[in-house]
Chains A and B, each alone.
Chain A
């Protein structure tokens, strides 16, 4: 059988881009149809590309027929294949939700084109092998994402969008400075090529730190997280879902590429990695405690994102946790998208996002509450779920490395997650007070409930698909045993679900 040509990679970027253009020209009705269709088309393309990947391994495509250093390379390997799947699935679910919750009216006219443009930018960023192209992709995704936060022009959302934008501008300038330094010392922008030419020494460290700092700001890693909760808490639900599940994740993805693929020959990386992981630990504890104290449902979910991002930093101190970390990234993406959609439905039903309005809601919109519960199972790391597999892998890695602090933190994190999520359940299933009996409850459109449910089921389903997914995920060069002078040799894991 003929394998898919590498040129198919381009369609992952251009199908959504052309759909965005068509949405501009043809209006909201066409836009929302195109959004769903594009996600389906992307899924089919990813099947073909995945088939080629499993036959041939990683492959790339030099644009304009010019190889790096001058040319731009699109590349597919296990890591971005999985993330592209995450983007496609989350976008499919959230687009279906938006089909009903945003609709094809005046809101839809403003919504669908940037929505599709953001999809194109996310895919472009994930595929790019070029530090500068990634920067442009991240900018487009941020600009579109930020404008969608303010879709309803509410005061909170406008403030949140403004704060996010200012920090995003600052973060990308710092990152750009780092890229400038890399280009100045290596003459290349392709991360693999530039990485192989980096000489080490102080200037290399400076470049690495600048790029890392900019990206940490953009991915809201504690203590740089301040902009995230208001932004994710005040956006329309499908937008919150995509921000939490995808937009913060792609800047972390860039961080992984820089740290683990550029093979930086610097001895001091271990302590810098420890620092990053310590920030992750801070995020885990702080975010969870802050989530416990929220009175508004969406802010609780948003602080949960701050906390869960902490797990994704663990790998910088514990290379053995690589597979667990990526697994967590994927499972969290699906679960958090489901949770934001479900929370959006609950808020829609109540007309308020106060937690104390929740009692009795389970009888009215059981599907959404069930979706919330399934997503919570995965976030807490209860079996069987993607979250459980991820945490199990991370725990095994920490245990094997005898990193007891991390073992403790991982367990504490799960407990805290359980604490703040059970708070929601306790309220939801609590009997209504008679005083509120008259409160009207709106029924969300079935698509809004089904999309949340489907994403939550996928997060649970990831608990059963550990082996095939982890097989795809090879260790990055920097984490291969003995490859990196900077980092300790990783442990050998038996891939697969426990």
Chain B
């Protein structure tokens, strides 16, 4: 089992790195939120992996902590989404930078056709 735990720990750290990278490079607030949620998943994966050490069932206290973590993160995410929608209604902005940078890559406007 330890081999697997090592694997999951590696995955958690890569996910954490990707999450931080995403938070730093994202301009669109939805992307920032995706990255923060990714980081949250990485932390929870780490918590579970740590709870699964040793023999027998994973530590129930860690599991309860993770359920709490999931609930807290959906609460915070929904608050952020509500703020984002309100922000767009008032200012027409979907990002927090003082000046909008020129859009890079393709627009997501054709989402309906996918």
Q: Is any CB of A less than 8 Å from a CB of B in the complex?
A: yes
Question: Chain A residues in contact with chain B, CB under 8 A?
Answer: 70, 132, 136, 139, 143, 146-147, 150, 153-155, 158-159, 161-163, 165-166, 168-170, 172-173, 176-177, 180, 183-184, 189
Report yes or no: A162 in contact with B29, Cβ–Cβ below 8 A. Answer: yes
* CB <8 Å contact, B65 and A132: yes
- Per the bound structure, the CA–CA distance linking A154 and B91 in Å amounts to 9
Q: Are A158 and B75 in contact (CB under 8 A)?
A: no
A-B contacts, 16 of them at CB < 8 A, read A136-B68, A143-B79, A158-B83, A159-B87, A159-B96, A161-B83, A166-B80, A168-B76, A169-B76, A170-B39, A173-B39, A176-B47, A180-B46, A183-B61, A183-B65, A184-B50
Instruction: Report if A165-B39 is in contact (Cβ < 8 Å); known contacts: A136-B72, A139-B75, A158-B91.
Output: no
Q: Which 9 A-B pairs have the closest CB atoms?
A: A184-B50, A158-B87, A180-B47, A155-B91, A162-B83, A155-B90, A177-B43, A169-B36, A139-B72
Task: Name the B residues within 8 Å of A176 (CB-CB).
Answer: 43, 47, 69
Per-position binary interface string of chain B over residues 38-50, scored 1 when its CB falls under 8 Å from any chain A CB and 0 otherwise:
0110010011001
Q: How many pairs of A and B residues are in contact by the CB < 8 Å rule?
A: 82
CB pair A162 B39 closer than 8 Å = no
Is the CB–CB distance between B83 and A180 below 8 Å?
A: no
Contacts of B18 in A (CB 8 A): none
Q: Which residues of A contact B40 (CB under 8 A)?
A: 169, 173
In the bound assembly, the distance between CA atoms of A90 and B65 in angstroms comes to 32
| B23, B39, B50, B79 — most chain A CB neighbours (10 Å) | B79
Contact check, A139 vs B76: say whether CB atoms are below 8 A apart. Answer: yes
* A166 proximity list for chain B (CB < 8 A): 23, 29, 32-33, 36, 80, 96
Shortest Cβ distance from residue B69 to the other chain A in the assembled complex, whole angstroms:
7
Contacts of A161 in B (CB 8 A): 83
Contact of B83 among A154, A165, A172, A173 (CB under 8 A): A165
Please determine whether B76 and A180 come into contact, CB atoms closer than 8 angstroms. no
B57 smallest CB distance to A (angstroms):
15
Q: A161-B83, A162-B80, A180-B43 are in contact. Are A143 and B91 (CB under 8 A)?
A: no
Q: Smallest CB–CB gap between B5 and chain A, Å?
A: 12
Docked pose: A273 CA to B37 CA in angstroms: 31
Q: How far is the CB of B22 from chain A (nearest CB, A)?
A: 12
Please give, as numbers and ranges, the residues of chain A lying within 8 Å of B33 by CB-CB distance.
166
Residue of B nearest to A142 (CB): B76
Q: Say which residue of B46, B50, B72, B84 sits within 8 Å of A162 (CB atoms).
A: B84
Given A159-B87, A169-B80, A183-B61, also A177-B46 (CB < 8 A)? yes
Q: What separation, in Å, do the CA atoms of A161 and B80 have in the docked complex? A: 9
Contacts of A173 in B (CB 8 A): 36, 39-40, 43
A185 → chain B, closest Cβ, in Å? 9
Closest A residue to B64 using CB positions: A132
Q: What residues on B are CB-neighbors of A153 within 8 Å?
A: 86, 90
Q: How far is the CB of A142 from chain B (nearest CB, A)?
A: 8
- Docked Cα-Cα span, A176 to B71, in Å, equals 14
* Pair B36/A170 contact, Cβ less than 8 Å: yes
- Asked whether A158 lies within 8 Å of B86 as measured between CB atoms, the reply is yes
Which of B53, B84, B90 lies at the interface centre, i.e. has the most chain A CB atoms within 10 A of its CB? Answer: B90
In the complex, residue of chain A having the shortest beta-carbon distance to the beta carbon of B47: A180
Contacts of B75 in A (CB 8 A): 139, 143
User: Is A150 a contact of B43 with CB atoms below 8 Å?
Assistant: no
Q: Are B96 and A163 in contact (CB under 8 A)?
A: yes
Taking the closest CB of chain B, its distance from the CB of A35, in whole angstroms, is: 22
C-alpha gap A66/B61 in the complex (Å): 14
Q: Are A147 and B91 in contact (CB under 8 A)?
A: no
CA distance A112 to B82 in the complex (A): 19
CB distance from A395 to the nearest CB of B (A): 40
Contacts A143-B76, A155-B91, A162-B29 hold; do A150 and B83 have CB atoms under 8 A apart?
yes
